[in-house]
Structure 1
Amino acid sequence: MVRILFVHPDLGIGGAERLVVDAALALQNKGHTVSFLTNHHDPEHCFEETRDGKLRVLTVGDWIPRDIFGKCYAVCAYVRMVYAAFYFTFFLSKQERFDIVFCDLISLGIPIIRLAKSNPKVLFYCHYPDQLLSQPGSLLKRYYRMPLNYLEEITTGKADGILVNSKFTGRVFKETFKRISVDPDVLYPSLNTKYFDETVLEEKDKISGIPPECFVFLSINRYERKKNLNLAMHAFKRLQELISPHEWNKLMLIVAGGYDERVLENVEHFDELEELAEDMGLRSKIRFLRSPSDREKLFLLQRAQALVYTPENEHFGIVPLEGMYLAKPIIAVNSGGPTETIIHDQTGFLCEPTPVSFGAAMAKLVKDDRSCERMGEMGRKRVQQRFSFEAFSTKLDNIVTDLTARQDEPKKAK
């Protein structure tokens, strides 16, 4: 049995959070002991497993501000994570022994964690280099980011093991962190398919106002501009020109995504999208949902006929896997991680990030029900064969076991 601590900045409901929660569940199912240390955990805005007691969560440093007058988000996030690392090294590690600390998103705490007398191994999961997640911006911002980018590379290289979520991210990792000679291991995110298979939905979990005969296109992503949600809306408008009025009357687009009132961009972008729907004359055809629960999200995935996934150069994307497992064809941008999960014209469509390309793919599905079913069935089989939770669990278990064995080698040599 290996004792593992997951250190994660904000245990909300994004893709990175789903990954670490699934990783914790996978290792727990393999007989290991797991816990979480985080800067923020809101029981009203988190995955069920971190709320219902399945996973132990300890929150520290939530009093540290997330921004300074709406700026300096990166610095504040780094300070909060460094605080958590110091808490672990000089307090928590003296109360409990951990063999491995699993970090992700922010690497600055790694050298501090390594100071702990218990000498845990550090495993870092790179979803995507942090320095590439925001636009370069002004000259002042570039100077502001320079030391942070340098520290990100140096501290990432201090980990005992490095994982990435796709071959695409692995290539970007090597191009970005030229000082790090290690080739990271690819550990594809997976689905806790047991939850999808065993959850029985009740009437309260269903979303009202969706006519039973309606053909639903579903978009699931956080309300962030980089997720390109307006592409789904423009493509939906383009679709109106490609089908008959009778077909159009039966269509609905549902945009559901993570929404945190503490995050200014979430609030602003949600309002922007609602205004865009009004301007396009689509307000009655588009439904916006904020932070649906796990059960509501499952209902949406079951109810939809197809999934529209709009981020460009997304490093992996767990939502397409969820849709494929529930036998839905996926329409996604032909770049990044989705090119490793979706097979064009078999489990969905890989399109150029334009309303014309997306709209044409949507029209094909509306006009051909059999194509929807065929692609959905092939998508489910692909997830079962390539991205199963058991395969994910076994690989992660092997990684953790090998890392622990490496930790014991010096002791044997003595």
Structure 2
Amino acid sequence: MFAMWDVIFGKSANRRFAASPTAPKLRVAFIHPDLGIGGAERLVVDVAVGLQKLGHSVDIYTSYHDPKHCFEETRDGTLRVHAKRSFLPRSLFGRFHVLFAHLAQLHLTLGLVSGDEALKYDVFFVDQLATCIPILRDAGKRVVFYCHFPDKLLAAGEYTDDDTKKRPVGLLKRIYRVPMDWLEEVTTRQADTLLANSNFTVGVFKKHFPNISTVPRVVYPGIDGAAYAPLSRAESSTEDVQRVLSSRPTFLSINRIEGKKNLALAVRAFAGARATGDVPTLRLVIAGGHDPRLADNRATLDSLLSLCESLRLKASVLGQSGGPMESILDPDPLARAPDATGYLRAPNDGEWTRAMLDILNLSESDRAALGKRAKKRAEKLFGLDAMAREVEDALKQTVEMGPLRARNSHGRRRRLKFC
């Protein structure tokens, strides 16, 4: 048991959702560390907009929000965003990112509860960092926590469940991670409701957090199908689009430009496919968010360019002056099976080179059928409407658990529970 309270500084706004005229509306507050342009941020924005369309009141609290590097809904008035920047740095000499992220969230949350701002909300939706959960519950607030993926498993880079293939971690980092991993588990455990982005994440969660008895409920991230409509002639003629458009056979990788995404795997697998000489015009396009503020993003881009140079691949960097494994079914070594929508492979260069070559060898009819199955599955499982309804249901069930007592009989806050 620890008493920390006194020790820590004392585009899509047109999406359609049918609001029910009789159901009670909720006042929901989101807490998210850094409201940039990553996948987690896209989910937060989509859930928040979806809840608003269902008639609920939504506010987003974050420690950092740059109007020049964010999703449109967070700056055009669609969503109410409250950025309360911490006085703390993001890191110390490029290290201790997780520690400072925890401290920034504590700074944000303590500011919310100390001024009684948190009292006006029925429930909190928290993701990425669970540090604030004990504080919110101490203030009498119910919390829904959305698990993207355990941070403890990404600390050394990309995740692999094969112990023989995991990157070695130095002694000092292992020592540093002990309290960070402990804090992640004990704070996550105190959420009233746990959600996860896929059954895969649920399985990993159960394996690596054995002391948490609650099994997260799966709520798939939503996809705005309208965003994938064909470009107009005017849109297609812009310089950025013209530099990417090509009739050449193209593989596309969409991920943030950061180390844990293991983008080097795509480059090495692509180099292997090119080396066969079967398709000399083959190309790879890597697209994703890149934040020059982050040392990891800068280092990852530099390492990818160096890797391309070492593999004798010509690389061009184009910049505009912004999914769960269940999205793929792979019941057969080839993507020609009746239900197949893609490939699931271990993070191995050779395996992905073979997968790329198999894709290249698909007939036009097989490739069209594969795309049709993939689109149908995405529309069925990853709709924005379904996601908003699932989160709404989880929030309502959490509120129905009843109020928490915020203060003891002497008018002082209860001791925060960290065990």
TM-score range, shorter chain: 0.7 to 0.9
String of CA shifts for 1:308-357, please: whole Å, max 9, x gaps: xxxxxxxxx2xxxxxxxxxxxxxxxxxxx42x221221212223333332
SS at match of 2:183: helix
Contact 1:7 1:37 in 2 (8 A): yes
Contact 1:257 1:289 in 2 (8 A): no
Aligned partner (choices 42, 53, 78) of residue 29 of structure 1:
53
Aligned mates of 2:368, 2:239 — CA distance in 1: 25
Q: 1:402: which partner in 2?
A: 397
Q: 2:302: which partner in 1?
A: 271
Larger RCO of the pair (alpha carbons < 8 Å, separation 6+) = 2
Moved more, 175-184 or 371-380: 175-184
Per-residue deviation, 1:395: 1.3
Q: 1:190: which partner in 2?
A: 222
Q: 1:393: which partner in 2?
A: 388
Aligned partner (choices 6, 26, 29) of residue 5 of structure 1:
29
Per-residue deviation, 1:68: 1.1
Matched, 1:106 2:129: yes
Question: Superposition pairs for residues 317-328 of structure 1, below 5 Å?
Answer: 317=323
Gaps of 5+ in 1: 294-316, 318-336
Per-residue deviation, 1:210: 3.8
Specify which structure has the higher proportion of strand: 1
SS at match of 1:350: coil
Per-residue deviation, 1:194: 3.9
Give 1:372's aligned amino acid.
R
Q: 1:333: which partner in 2?
A: none
Q: 2:20: which partner in 1?
A: none
Contact 1:253 1:287 in 2 (8 A): no
> TM-score by structure 1 length?
0.80
Matched, 1:215 2:201: no
**Greater C-alpha radius of gyration:** 2
Aligned partner (choices 146, 150, 165) of residue 197 of structure 2:
165
Aligned partner (choices 359, 366, 377) of residue 360 of structure 2:
366
Per-residue deviation, 1:408: 6.1
Matched, 1:233 2:271: no
Contact 1:259 1:290 in 2 (8 A): no
Contact 1:258 1:290 in 2 (8 A): no
Give 2:295's aligned amino acid.
L
Give 1:406's aligned amino acid.
M
Matched, 1:139 2:171: yes
Give 2:297's aligned amino acid.
N
String of CA shifts for 1:165-191, please: whole Å, max 9, x gaps: 112221222222233222221112121
Aligned mates of 1:155, 1:124 — CA distance in 2: 10
String of CA shifts for 1:195-215, please: whole Å, max 9, x gaps: 445986724374233454222
String of CA shifts for 1:216-258, please: whole Å, max 9, x gaps: 21111122222121221122222124453xx422x32111222
Distance 1:235 1:121, change over 3 A: same
Per-residue deviation, 1:122: 0.8
Per-residue deviation, 1:120: 2.5
Q: 1:41: which partner in 2?
A: 65
Q: 1:310: which partner in 2?
A: none
> TM-score by structure 2 length?
0.79
SS at match of 1:391: helix
Contact 1:233 1:277 in 2 (8 A): yes
Aligned mates of 2:385, 2:183 — CA distance in 1: 35
Aligned mates of 1:133, 1:291 — CA distance in 2: 29
Distance 1:291 1:153, change over 3 A: farther
String of CA shifts for 1:261-293, please: whole Å, max 9, x gaps: 12112111211111221222211xx44445793
Give 2:189's aligned amino acid.
G
Moved more, 345-354 or 389-398: 345-354
Give 2:271's aligned amino acid.
K
Per-residue deviation, 1:5: 0.7
SS at match of 1:262: coil
Aligned mates of 1:146, 1:365 — CA distance in 2: 43
Per-residue deviation, 1:64: 1.6
Aligned mates of 2:260, 2:62 — CA distance in 1: 25
Distance 1:159 1:273, change over 3 A: same
Aligned mates of 1:137, 1:279 — CA distance in 2: 26
Aligned mates of 1:240, 1:157 — CA distance in 2: 47
Contact 2:43 2:222 in 1 (8 A): yes
Aligned mates of 2:396, 2:297 — CA distance in 1: 40
Q: 1:341: which partner in 2?
A: 327
Aligned partner (choices 196, 211, 217) of residue 179 of structure 1:
211
Aligned residues: 359
Aligned mates of 1:76, 1:353 — CA distance in 2: 30
Moved more, 189-198 or 233-242: 189-198
Aligned mates of 1:122, 1:174 — CA distance in 2: 20
Per-residue deviation, 1:34: 0.8
Aligned mates of 1:52, 1:195 — CA distance in 2: 18
Per-residue deviation, 1:102: 0.6
Per-residue deviation, 1:359: 2.1
Aligned mates of 2:144, 2:316 — CA distance in 1: 41
Matched, 1:57 2:91: no
